[in-house]
């Protein structure tokens, strides 16, 4: 039996290798196995980006990236979060049942504020909107990294609270799918690749821009002629994402033998990235010339998502006693 899987990605900037290997690749692989709902979380992005033209372009760029990389809108529901008004409707309802103390336990909120994001109410109640995202489509599976497990638990708590309060099974209780095998992708400075650190290599970087970033990857000062440890090298950590098992073993052996410098490794990595994304890069260039197609994909995905969301919301409104004389879907 096919299950409903849900995941979203924030259009807060151009997507990078960490986004691809951390989430996007898994999304594309799962689209044929499940009833998949994938969305651009543009409401969530408002907690950190208040620039209308930039957010709009970022959202379109995310769509282009996914389509170029192989996401098939005929095999999944692919849409913008803001195209489904039922999401914010459910978020408000869940907020009326959510104790303040539950949000105060939010680890992600504390981490983001500690890293410089403004402590706004949207950021504080982020898990409530995320819960609505998950619950509004009757999601069975929510693939997340271990750092997002708490927010899935919040979703489960709020769904159970609504069901208990109104003595009906109004919302399905989702199961987290912790993705243990997600690679930690190092940025050019050695820290985890992240837009907030400014250390990213973009998925569709090419030419001079790509070469400059690869050559900036931080390494130690081991001389060229000396043996090196591939397991502690940021360049090799990225090579492992692209190379076959045989190629990884070959390059690791060169590291350990000596006479193989970090410059050699960076040139190999540069070639691997260029080749790996070559077909997708060409497809993205073609898609950029057809903006109507991109908007049609979002329109059709939004219609499918609203239909599912309305099926979930109508019984909730009836149970809560919310009078609605019409619905403009």
* Positions marked catalytic: 112, 192, 195
Concatenate the DSSP letters of all residues of 151-196 into one string: HHHHHHHHHHHHHHHTTS--S---EEEE-TT----B-TTSSBP-GG
Question: Pseudo-torsion of CA 220, 222, 226, 229, nearest 10°?
Answer: -20
User: What is d(CA 9, CA 252) in angstroms, rounded to the nearest whole number?
Assistant: 34
The closest alpha carbon to 68, from 308, 311, 281, 256, belongs to 281
> What strands, in cross-sheet order, belong to the sheet with 141-144?
76-80, 35-40, 4-9, 141-144, 175-178
Which tokens go with 112?
């983001």
> In this structure, how many other beta carbons lie within 10 angstroms of the beta carbon of residue 32?
10
Are the beta carbons of 308 and 35 closer than 8 angstroms? Answer: no
What are φ and ψ of residue 209, in 5° steps?
-60, -45
User: What is d(CA 261, CA 228) in angstroms, rounded to the nearest whole number?
Assistant: 9
């Amino acid at each position: 039996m096919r299950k409903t899987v849900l995941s979203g990605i924030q259009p807060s900037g151009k997507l990078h290798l960490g986004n691809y290997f951390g989430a996007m690749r898994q999304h594309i692989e799962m689209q044929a196995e499940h009833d998949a709902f994938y969305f651009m979380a543009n409401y969530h992005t408002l907690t950190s980006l208040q620039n209308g033209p930039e957010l709009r372009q970022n959202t379109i760029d995310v769509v282009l990236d996914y389509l170029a990389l192989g996401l098939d809108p005929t095999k999944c529901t692919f849409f913008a979060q803001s195209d489904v008004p039922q999401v914010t409707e459910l978020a408000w309802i869940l907020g009326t049942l959510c104790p303040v103390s539950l949000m105060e336990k939010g680890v992600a909120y504390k981490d983001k504020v500690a890293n410089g994001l403004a402590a706004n109410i949207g950021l504080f109640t982020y898990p409530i909107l995320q819960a609505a995202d998950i619950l509004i489509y009757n999601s069975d599976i929510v693939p997340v990294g271990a750092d997002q497990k708490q927010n899935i638990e919040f979703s489960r708590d709020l769904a159970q609270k609504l069901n208990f309060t109104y003595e009906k099974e109004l919302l399905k209780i989702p199961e987290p799918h912790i993705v243990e095998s997600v690679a930690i992708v190092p940025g050019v400075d050695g820290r985890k690749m992240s837009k907030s650190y400014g250390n990213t290599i973009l998925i569709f970087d090419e030419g001079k821009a790509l070469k400059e970033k690869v050559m900036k990857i931080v390494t130690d000062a081991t001389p060229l002629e000396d043996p090196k440890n591939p397991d502690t090298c940021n360049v090799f950590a990225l090579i492992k994402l692209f190379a076959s098992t045989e190629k990884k073993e070959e390059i690791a052996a060169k590291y350990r033998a000596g006479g193989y410098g970090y410059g050699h490794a960076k040139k190999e990595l540069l070639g691997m990235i260029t080749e790996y994304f070559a077909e997708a890069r060409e497809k993205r260039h073609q898609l950029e010339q057809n903006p109507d197609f991109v908007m049609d994909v979002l329109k059709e995905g939004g219609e499918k998502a609203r239909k599912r969301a309305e099926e979930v919301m109508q019984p909730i409104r009836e149970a809560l006693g919310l009078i609605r004389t019409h619905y403009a879907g």
